[in-house]
Chains A and B, each alone.
Chain A
Amino acid sequence: MDAIALENVTKSYDSVIAVSGVNLRVRQGAVLGLLGPNGAGKTTTIRMVMNILVPDEGTILVLGQPVSGKTRDSVGYLPEERGLYPRMKVRSLIVFFAALHGLSEAEADRRAREWLERFELSEWSEKKMVDLSKGMQQKVQFITSVLHRPPIVILDEPFSGLDPVNAATVKDIMLEMRDQGSTIILSTHRMEQVEKMCDSICLISHGRSVLDGDLRAIKQSYGKNTVHVEFTGPDSFLTHPAIAAVNRFATGVEAKLKPGADPQEILKAAVQSGAQITRFELLEPSLNEIFIEKTSHA
């Protein structure tokens, strides 16, 4: 049984098609990166999983059940647009949301104290939300999305606005939840985070899923089509016909090869042009490149 299964899901607003025939399976225990340019339909997709929006067509199963008010409590959700009642006190606010998700208030209160301790917010628990800094509010919001220990957690840009120390805490908690068997969906534009955290990805562009599956397999399917060259001397070899695109960095260049091109030809051309090669390495494409390629083609 999949944690979440979307089958041929379509949703449009008036004349705008936000999501069009999306299929997606998230296996239990996976950490899935939900990627896509702004306005691709990620938020709409998440809202349909949360039963906030109803799809026009297709089915959505959460833990094998069609989405409903009941499945909602199995999913913790941290929306991208943050905000909580500004005039409520921190701990009573956390308890309120946990109770809405089905916890008893006593249990919610016990866990709230634990989590506030963990995020070093204990001394703020009787303060109003509005008195907290943005980063602290962010932490409180994170707590409200995971306090009821949902088997599935959807986190939309969970690290934005957090300092490195707090970002590390959130990352540790996410890995901990994964180890305990939770399924995590991470929606973000920060590709390096996805490469570090996720084992699978789903890339949505213009309302369609253009790429999904195991991250390692996807990268391997692209083959080692990129060469990283560090050199001194002339760079005329970069105009070699086998090179599709060049990305220059301070220390060297990354050249993306045309399909079927032989990297040895590039090395040969570089040596012949008189460049002093200090490093020549074949690489898998970065997720960033895959993202740009997939979304600009669509």
Chain B
Amino acid sequence: MRKIWLIIKREYVTRVKTKGFVIGTLIVPLIGIGFTSLVVFLVSHQSNQGLRLAIVDNAGGLAPSVIGSLDAKLPSGQPMYVVTETIDRPASASSVQDGLRARIISGALDAYLVIPKDLSQSAELHTKNPGAYAQFGPITSALNQAVVEARLNARGIHVDDVRDIVRGEDLQVIKVSKEGESVERGQTLGVAIALVILLYTSLLMYGIITMRSVLEEKTTRTMEVLISAVHPFELLAGKILGVAAVAFTQFAIWSVSLALLATYGAAMAAMTGAGAALAGIHVPGVLLAYAGVYFFGGYFLYSAMFAAVGAACSNEQDAAQLQWIAMAPLVFTMVIYSLVLNDSTSRASVILSEIPFFAPVLMPLRVSLQVPPAWQIALSIGLLFLSIVAVIYCSAKIYRVGILMYGKRPTLPELVRWLRYS
């Protein structure tokens, strides 16, 4: 045990003292603060200029009604749409449109709306920026209102404000959980996806750190002196635990800074009036606890495999080619996680989240969406634990043989044969 402790200590101290650790640990929260500030800034300083719009009304008489309905405002209080001109029943539609098109290209106009003569055909919006969906919704509803109003008028039904008649009902989604009910504004999905990405990248990153660390001992030929002093299993255990301690430190620093950041961000948001967007995000403590448990479970599982890959190779190039063995299940998790995201209680989701190689990412994802039954969590933790033991056993064997092998990169059958060596 003393030797394992010495290995852990060395691994931890040499890693935490590196510039890379300090920079990585500081820069990630700084980037977080930077992005949050940027988003808050952009939300509060959105473009003050409304969309400059021209209307070509081939049907005739609809434009005033459309303009009347385009009363949306920008956060700054300025109108969202500025109708620069209305062309009612032009003699030559094409020459008018040519002129408008030229003005869009020259930058004098942002878009023009063409209302067809025959209202059974679609209206057209010509714009330089067809990706700005948020701007098109109000135009569609304004146009609809105008058309409905016109049709009602044609049938002799007079209404002052069509909007009151045709307004539909919004659907507000409210999440029900043991903690109570909370209005859903997309934050569950946001937290879930953020969690998946965070778990995936951390597992991959710390796995590769472990692999490199093993490889470094091999390429620098430190290995032979080391294993003349300690058993390879002690070395492997010390290394994995040492890197785990580094991960723990890094997460602790990040959690504290993120907590500070959240407080700071909320305060900033409250000041700038963008509070609603951030206030809905609430990460329950129980989710963090599960994420922590599954991260470290997954870390032990994957880092043991990465360590074996590092031990089997003699240089970075070989390792880069062989690391798919350890990476494949992790990458596959990223391919299938949307299945769980769509329906976290489906049979596929339940089975996939029980498979130990996927559980470290998928089970916390399920917890974030809807806490699964306790037996499913218990079973997956049990299976994960058994797999960790089995994988570490196999990895230790490959490791023990591999650390003394130099030269050609082993093939998969050779790795399997190493498992049978005493």
Partners in one complex: yes
Q: Is residue A260 contacting chain B, with contact meaning CB distance below 8 A?
A: no
Asked if residues A52 and B228 are in contact (CB atoms below 8 Å), the reply is: yes
Which B residues from 9 to 59 make CB contacts under 8 A with A?
10, 14, 18
Q: Is residue A87 contacting chain B, with contact meaning CB distance below 8 A?
A: yes
Could you list 25 examples of A-B contacts with CB < 8 Å? A47-B404, A50-B228, A52-B227, A52-B228, A52-B404, A54-B422, A69-B230, A72-B228, A72-B229, A77-B225, A79-B224, A83-B221, A83-B225, A84-B220, A84-B222, A86-B220, A87-B14, A97-B229, A99-B6, A100-B3, A100-B6, A100-B229, A100-B230, A141-B225, A144-B225
Asked if residues B220 and A83 are in contact (CB atoms below 8 Å), the reply is: yes
Given A52-B228, A72-B229, are A85 and B14 also a contact pair (CB < 8 Å)?
Answer: yes
Interface of A is mostly: loop
Which B residues from 319 to 339 make CB contacts under 8 A with A?
none
Which B residues from 186 to 227 make CB contacts under 8 A with A?
216-217, 220-222, 224-227
Q: Is residue B117 contacting chain A, with contact meaning CB distance below 8 A?
A: no
Q: For the complex of A and B, list the 4 residue pairs with the smallest distance between their C-beta atoms, beginning with the closest.
A: A83-B221, A100-B229, A77-B228, A79-B224
Given A47-B404, A96-B6, A99-B6, are A69 and B231 also a contact pair (CB < 8 Å)?
Answer: yes
Which A residues from 76 to 102 make CB contacts under 8 A with B?
77, 79, 81-88, 96-97, 99-101
Alpha-carbon separation in the docked complex, A141 to B220 (Å)? 13
Asked if residues B221 and A82 are in contact (CB atoms below 8 Å), the reply is: yes
Instruction: Beyond the given A69-B230, A81-B224, A83-B221, please list 9 additional residue pairs across the A-B interface where CB-CB is below 8 A.
Output: A47-B404, A53-B404, A72-B228, A72-B229, A79-B225, A83-B222, A100-B3, A100-B6, A100-B226
Please, how many residues of chain A have a CB less than 8 angstroms from a CB on the other chain?
A: 27
Which A residues from 134 to 152 make CB contacts under 8 A with B?
141, 144-145
Q: Nearest residue in A to B226 (C-beta to C-beta)? A: A100
Alpha-carbon separation in the docked complex, A83 to B225 (Å)? 8
Interface contact tally, CB-CB below 8 A? 57
Interface centre among A69, A73, A100 (most CB of B within 10 A): A100
- A-side contacts of B229, CB under 8 Å: 72-73, 97, 100-101
Q: CB within 8 Å of A: which residues of B?
A: 3, 6-7, 10, 14, 18, 216-217, 220-222, 224-231, 404, 422
- A-side contacts of B3, CB under 8 Å: 100
- B-side contacts of A75, CB under 8 Å: 228
Q: Nearest residue in B to A145 (C-beta to C-beta)? A: B225
- A-side contacts of B228, CB under 8 Å: 50, 52, 72, 75, 77, 79
Q: How far is the CB of A34 from chain B (nearest CB, A)?
A: 16
- A-side contacts of B224, CB under 8 Å: 52, 77, 79, 81
- B-side contacts of A96, CB under 8 Å: 6, 10
Q: CB within 8 Å of B: which residues of A?
A: 47, 50, 52-54, 69, 72-73, 75, 77, 79, 81-88, 96-97, 99-101, 141, 144-145
Alpha-carbon separation in the docked complex, A192 to B272 (Å)? 85
Alpha-carbon separation in the docked complex, A131 to B257 (Å)? 36
Alpha-carbon separation in the docked complex, A85 to B14 (Å)? 10
Alpha-carbon separation in the docked complex, A50 to B222 (Å)? 15
Interface centre among A72, A85, A87, A144 (most CB of B within 10 A): A85
Q: How far is the CB of B218 from chain A (nearest CB, A)?
A: 9
Q: Nearest residue in A to B227 (C-beta to C-beta)? A: A52
Interface centre among B6, B18, B216, B225 (most CB of A within 10 A): B225
Alpha-carbon separation in the docked complex, A50 to B231 (Å)? 10
Q: How far is the CB of A115 from chain B (nearest CB, A)?
A: 16
Asked if residues A84 and B225 are in contact (CB atoms below 8 Å), the reply is: yes
Alpha-carbon separation in the docked complex, A168 to B352 (Å)? 66
- B-side contacts of A52, CB under 8 Å: 224, 227-228, 404
Q: How far is the CB of B46 from chain A (nearest CB, A)?
A: 49
Q: How far is the CB of A155 from chain B (nearest CB, A)?
A: 12
- A-side contacts of B222, CB under 8 Å: 83-85
Q: How far is the CB of B9 from chain A (nearest CB, A)?
A: 9
Alpha-carbon separation in the docked complex, A82 to B224 (Å)? 9
Alpha-carbon separation in the docked complex, A82 to B225 (Å)? 9
Alpha-carbon separation in the docked complex, A54 to B422 (Å)? 8
Q: How far is the CB of B261 from chain A (nearest CB, A)?
A: 32
- A-side contacts of B220, CB under 8 Å: 83-86
Alpha-carbon separation in the docked complex, A85 to B3 (Å)? 17
Q: Nearest residue in A to B229 (C-beta to C-beta)? A: A100
Alpha-carbon separation in the docked complex, A113 to B332 (Å)? 53
Q: How far is the CB of B16 from chain A (nearest CB, A)?
A: 13
Alpha-carbon separation in the docked complex, A87 to B19 (Å)? 12
Alpha-carbon separation in the docked complex, A96 to B228 (Å)? 14
Alpha-carbon separation in the docked complex, A97 to B227 (Å)? 11
- A-side contacts of B226, CB under 8 Å: 100
- A-side contacts of B217, CB under 8 Å: 85
Q: How far is the CB of B62 from chain A (nearest CB, A)?
A: 75
Which of A53, A69, A81 contacts B221, CB < 8 Å? A81
- B-side contacts of A79, CB under 8 Å: 221, 224-225, 228
Q: Nearest residue in B to A75 (C-beta to C-beta)? A: B228
Q: How far is the CB of B405 from chain A (nearest CB, A)?
A: 9
- A-side contacts of B216, CB under 8 Å: 85
- B-side contacts of A97, CB under 8 Å: 225, 229
Q: Nearest residue in B to A85 (C-beta to C-beta)? A: B222
- B-side contacts of A141, CB under 8 Å: 225
Alpha-carbon separation in the docked complex, A141 to B227 (Å)? 15
Q: How far is the CB of A127 from chain B (nearest CB, A)?
A: 15
Q: How far is the CB of B247 from chain A (nearest CB, A)?
A: 20
Given A72-B229, A77-B225, are A88 and B6 also a contact pair (CB < 8 Å)?
Answer: no
Q: Nearest residue in B to A55 (C-beta to C-beta)? A: B422
Q: Nearest residue in A to B219 (C-beta to C-beta)? A: A83
